[in-house]
Amino acid sequence: EAQVTQNPRYLITVTGKKLTVTCSQNMNHEYMSWYRQDPGLGLRQIYYSMNVEVTDKGDVPEGYKVSRKEKRNFPLILESPSPNQTSLYFCASSLGPGGRDNEQFFGPGTRLTVL
Amino acid sequence: AQRVTQPEKLLSVFKGAPVELKCNYSYSGSPELFWYVQYSRQRLQLLLRHISRESIKGFTADLNKGETSFHLKKPFAQEEDSAMYYCALKGCGALIFGKGTTLSVSS
């Protein structure tokens, strides 16, 4: 089944404790991205990747890192999480950056709480 | 500047009433616009795209370049349409989302 998976789905952690949220897609998509969803602010893009070893900042990259060593994986790294990073995170992938017929496929979301 | 504006946070209608979810955009080039939907406890998914001029689940959206709008419409709302709706614009290297509108359809 074609899908985007994220792990973990739920995470409660403490300030400053490094964490990684994994994202994997099995559709051979070149484009992947991370979003955070917050009430009243909608979806905001954190980072995106056009292809392996090519990443770029989105609208709210501060406090996050990403890597794209393989086409299928795009982990989101929080080196030193803070409470303002408490949010619902979505990974997405598409053949291209969301234009024309390139539908973005979203993962199920990861709910992160930073105490 | 590239921007997507959804002026309504919440839209409440009765079953069978017409629905219009507003979306305005700001983009200097030729825009590509989409509507995404997120039903309760489900992942975000594409509803429709302006390039296809399609009708999905009774919803349509017409791109109006003069008014820079891409409003989502449905003539008769159903309870199962209750969800969060996001308008999105394909910008340079990124898909830009609006803040979303929650549609609540009650009987």
pLDDT in tens, B50-70: 877 778 899 999 889 899 999
Provide, as residue numbers in chain A, all residues whose Cβ is less than 8 Å from the Cβ of B99. Answer: 40-42
Whole-number pLDDT of residue A12: 96
What's the Rg (C-alpha) of chain B?
13
Place B41 in a pLDDT band, splitting at 50, 70 and 90: confident
* Parts of chain A with a pLDDT under 50: none
The answer to whether residue B92 scores a pLDDT higher than 80 is no
3-state secondary structure of B105: strand
* pLDDT, mean of residues B74-88: 96
Q: Which two tokens stand for residue B73?
A: 């419409």
Whole-number pLDDT of residue A33: 93
Whole-number pLDDT of residue A101: 53
Place B2 in a pLDDT band, splitting at 50, 70 and 90: confident
Q: What's the pLDDT tens digit per position in B10-30?
A: 999 999 999 999 999 998 888
d(CA A63, CA A68): 17
d(CA A77, CA A20): 4
3-state secondary structure chain A: CCCEEEECCEEEECCCCCEEEEEEECCCCCEEEEEEEECCCEEEEEEEEEECCEEEECCCCCCCEECCCCCCECCEEECCCCHHHCEEEEEEEECCCCCCCCCCEECCCEEEEEC
Residue B95 and residue A98: Cβ atoms within 8 Å? yes
Provide, as residue numbers in chain A, all residues whose Cβ is less than 8 Å from the Cβ of B41. Answer: none
Provide, as residue numbers in chain B, all residues whose Cβ is less than 8 Å from the Cβ of A97. Answer: 90, 93-95
User: How far is the CA of B104 from the CAs of A74, A114, B78, in angstroms?
Assistant: 34, 31, 10
CA A107 to chain centre: 9
Query: Given the structure tokens 């490094």, which residue do they identify?
Result: A18
Whole-number pLDDT of residue A65: 97
A-to-B residue pairs, Cβ atoms closer than 8 angstroms:
57
